[in-house]
Amino acid sequence: MVLEPKKRFPSEYRLRKRWQYLLVQNQGIKVVSRFFIGLVIPTPDAKLRCKHARLGITTTGRYGNAVARNRTRRLVREAFRQGIMEIPNGVDVVVIPKKHAKFENSASIFQDLSILGNRVRGVAEKTRC
């Protein structure tokens, strides 16, 4: 058996506090794809601005049951971790899934997250994060 190093989603790549989510949701620029809404803002902390992008995922109880919400969160985290979204450094992103995303297979969700990442990059270049 071959042991692989743990593939984790470290805390420095996540939005962890409520105020961080609120800052992005109130001041962020809205980017839309077929299955997701993304809110983008430059990282407010100057020390983190050049290091990496940070991701936050928001799903409500209206989206679906816990299984559907957790599946969607897992897929978004995996797309971010594997670089499918290609979010540039110095950007905070909050991803909100649309209701019909829970019925899609993972391949179409990854494809849509790639499109969302392209749009986020466009916004980041315009605002020059």
- Give residue for tokens 């407010």: 44
| Tokens encoding 53 | 């992008």
Q: How far is CA 13 from CA 34, 68, 93, 105, 107, in A?
A: 25, 23, 10, 25, 23
- Whether the model clears a pTM of 0.75, i.e. scores above it, the answer is yes
Contacts of residue 63, defined as CB under 8 A and 6 or more positions apart, other chains included, come to: 69, 72, 97, 99, 102
pLDDT of residue 1: 45
Per-residue pLDDT of the chain (129 residues; tens, 9 = 90+): 444 566 777 888 889 999 999 999 999 999 999 999 999 998 776 555 567 889 999 998 899 899 999 999 999 999 998 888 888 888 999 999 999 998 999 999 999 999 999 999 999 888 764
pLDDT of residue 125: 85
Q: Strand pairing partners for 38?
A: 31, 95
Q: Where are the beta strands (DSSP E) in the chain?
A: 29-32, 36-42, 54-57, 91-97
CA distance 61 to 63: 5
- Give residue for tokens 């058996």: 1
CA distance 25 to 41: 9
Going along the chain from its start, the domains and CATH numbers come out as 11-127 (3.30.230.10)
